[in-house]
């Protein structure tokens, strides 16, 4: 019998979005998968020779690029496949089984299908949102906040008012872009001031190595967390100093790149001793968003240049860490939006909004509205997480 004559299908059982494990169910003759040679059981038997209702372990894929999976024949012609929860593993298994002749069931819970055809890729933003808070904002857009706004602005008859409405939406673009990608926050400063201790205190666990030896951190060490429900990637960096050590120099080069590309720059100084000339220069030249005066449990003698406030903390005792977290949030999201407000979620949407604001500023209201109508859901490109 030709495989295309066999009624068999595969479906994804786990919900869309990020998860630890992905589960798929195959219904049909399992020798179809054996014949396609996409799975090798650790016990050397074919799937058809495995006992029902017993799990068995093996590798999916051929050659080098295999992946560990756990399978279970839940009945003679039903097979569950448990794999890594990322979409890559699920998609690969779906594609292999489809290539072997199975159909992919419509009830698939891929993000595209989960929108039930109601809307478009807003569903992808909802499932790609990194925290409950950002998921709620994305859900607001999925539920039509943007389209409601597009309907409403068509009624506006003043180009001045149109422009200010559009600019208010643009101002939420930074939050929109970060629904699915964390803000970058960097800690930097001289060696031994307590940067690694601080990142650990903010994270609540020991991510970075701490030691009394200056020059301990050599590379950028990053970790993701959430502060007040906002997704944040904190990066610890090598202490900045003149060094003849090649590895340390390379680490300092990476630190400087990270400082340059971050959304929030936190300069850490050792507040228990007078400010060094290098720290003074960093205050004045590196444009820090926040200056942290660490080691306040020892003393607070450091005096910052005029116009710099500095938050007083101790990574060791925890003093000031909550206040520091609040300052970071205030820097990144000074005006947190609510889910019913329209929020652009892609760079393309922000570009279109800017174009419309510009047209409105030149009195071209009809043209501005035409540009805005291109933003109706379903006509845009969407962000994906690397
Ligand atoms: N008393 C006190 N000691 C601290 C505090 N924060 C850090 N230290 C100590 O300072 C030393 C250096 O801490 P690290 O966190 O490794 O400093 P760093 O800035 O990451 O250093 P490099 O990686 O070398 O650039 C360690 O001995 C820490 O225990 C603090 O708030 N109070
Ligand atoms: Mg360090």
DSSP state string for 227-274: ETTEEEEEEE-PPP-----HHHHHHHHHHHHHHHH-SEEEEEEETTSP
Does residue 129 share a domain with residue 110? no
* Angle of CA points 342, 347, 349, to nearest 5°: 45
For the range 361-368, what are the long-range contacts, defined as Cβ-Cβ under 8 Å and sequence gap of 24 or more? 361/159, 361/163, 363/159, 364/159, 365/159, 365/162, 368/159, 368/162, 368/163, 368/166
Index of the ligand 1 atom closest to the CA of residue 296: 31
pLDDT confidence bin for 374, thresholds 50/70/90? confident
Question: Taking residues 146-156, what's their average pLDDT?
Answer: 89
Does residue 349 share a domain with residue 266? no
Does residue 231 share a domain with residue 92? no
Q: Which residue's CA is the closest to the ligand 1 atom numbered 32? A: 295
Radius of gyration for the alpha carbons in the chain, expressed in angstroms and rounded: 27
Does residue 192 share a domain with residue 165? no
Within a domain: 83: yes
Question: Taking residues 324-328, what's their average pLDDT?
Answer: 97
Q: What is the pLDDT of residues 232-271, one digit of tens each?
A: 999 999 999 888 888 888 988 999 999 999 999 999 999 9
Question: Distance between CA atoms of 103 and 90, rounded to whole angstroms?
Answer: 15
Within a domain: 239: yes
Of 315, 317, 319, 324, the one to substitute when testing ligand 1's pocket (max ligand atoms within 8 A of C-beta) is 315
pLDDT confidence bin for 90, thresholds 50/70/90? confident
Does residue 343 share a domain with residue 327? no
What residues contact 372, with CB distance under 8 A and at least 6 apart? 150, 153, 166, 352, 353, 356
pLDDT, mean over the chain:
87
User: How many domains in the chain?
Assistant: 3
Of 210, 259, 302, 312, the one to substitute when testing ligand 1's pocket (max ligand atoms within 8 A of C-beta) is 210
Write out the residue range of the structural domain in which residue 153 sits.
122-172+337-373
Q: What is the pLDDT of residues 121-148, one digit of tens each?
A: 566 667 778 888 998 898 887 777 888 8
Per-chain residues with Cβ under 5 A from ion ligand 2: 196, 216-217
Does residue 357 share a domain with residue 308? no
Does residue 195 share a domain with residue 97? no
Does residue 222 share a domain with residue 162? no
DSSP code at position 52: B
pLDDT score recorded for residue 298: 97
pLDDT confidence bin for 22, thresholds 50/70/90? confident
Does residue 164 share a domain with residue 134? yes
Write down the pTM of the prediction: 0.73
Q: Mark 205-226 as b/e (b = at least 16 C-beta within 10 Å).
A: eebbebeeeebbbbebbbbebe
- Which of 87, 114, 141 is where one domain is finished? 114
Distance (angstroms) between ligand 2 centre and the Cα of 309 equals: 23
Q: Note the ipTM here.
A: 0.99
Does residue 202 share a domain with residue 308? yes
Does residue 131 share a domain with residue 110? no
Is 294 touching ligand 1 by the criterion CB < 6 Å?
Answer: yes
Does residue 167 share a domain with residue 102? no
Within a domain: 177: no
Distance (angstroms) between ligand 2 centre and the Cα of 217 equals: 4
């Amino acid at each position: 019998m030709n495989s295309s004559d066999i009624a068999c299908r595969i479906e994804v059982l786990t919900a869309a979005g990020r998860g630890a494990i992905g589960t798929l169910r195959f219904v049909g003759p399992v020798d179809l998968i054996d014949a396609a040679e996409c799975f090798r059981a650790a016990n050397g038997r074919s799937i058809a020779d495995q006992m029902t209702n017993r799990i068995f372990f093996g590798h999916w894929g051929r050659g080098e690029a295999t992946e560990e999976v756990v399978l279970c024949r839940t009945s003679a012609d039903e097979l569950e496949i448990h794999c890594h929860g990322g979409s890559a593993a699920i998609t690969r298994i779906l594609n292999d089984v489809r290539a072997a002749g199975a159909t992919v069931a419509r009830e698939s819970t891929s993000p595209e299908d989960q929108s039930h055809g109601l809307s478009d890729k807003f569903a992808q933003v909802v499932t790609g949102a990194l925290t409950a808070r950002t998921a709620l904002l994305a859900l607001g857009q999925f539920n039509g906040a943007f389209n409601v706004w597009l309907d409403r602005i068509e009624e506006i008859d003043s180009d001045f008012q149109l422009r200010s409405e559009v600019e208010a939406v643009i101002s939420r673009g930074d939050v929109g872009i970060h629904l699915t990608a964390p803000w970058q926050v960097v800690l930097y400063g001289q060696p031994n001031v307590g940067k690694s201790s601080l990142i650990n205190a903010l994270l609540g666990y020991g991510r970075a190595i701490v030691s009394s030896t200056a020059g301990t951190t050599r590379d950028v060490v990053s970790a993701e967390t959430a502060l007040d429900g906002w997704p944040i990637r904190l990066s610890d960096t090598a202490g900045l100093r003149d060094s003849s050590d090649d590895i340390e120099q390379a680490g300092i080069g990476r630190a400087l790149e990270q400082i340059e590309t971050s959304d929030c720059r936190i300069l850490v100084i050792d507040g228990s001793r007078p400010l060094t000339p290098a720290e003074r220069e960093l205050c004045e030249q590196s444009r820090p968003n926040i200056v942290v005066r660490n080691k306040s449990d020892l003393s607070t003698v450091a005096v910052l240049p005029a116009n710099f406030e500095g938050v007083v903390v101790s990574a060791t005792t925890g003093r000031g860490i909550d206040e520091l977290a609040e300052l970071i949030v205030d820097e990144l999201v000074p005006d947190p939006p609510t889910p019913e407000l329209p929020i652009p979620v892609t760079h393309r949407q922000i570009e279109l909004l800017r174009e419309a604001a510009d047209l409105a500023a030149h009195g071209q209201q009809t043209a501005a509205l035409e540009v805005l109508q291109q933003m109706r859901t379903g006509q845009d490109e969407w962000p994906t997480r690397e």
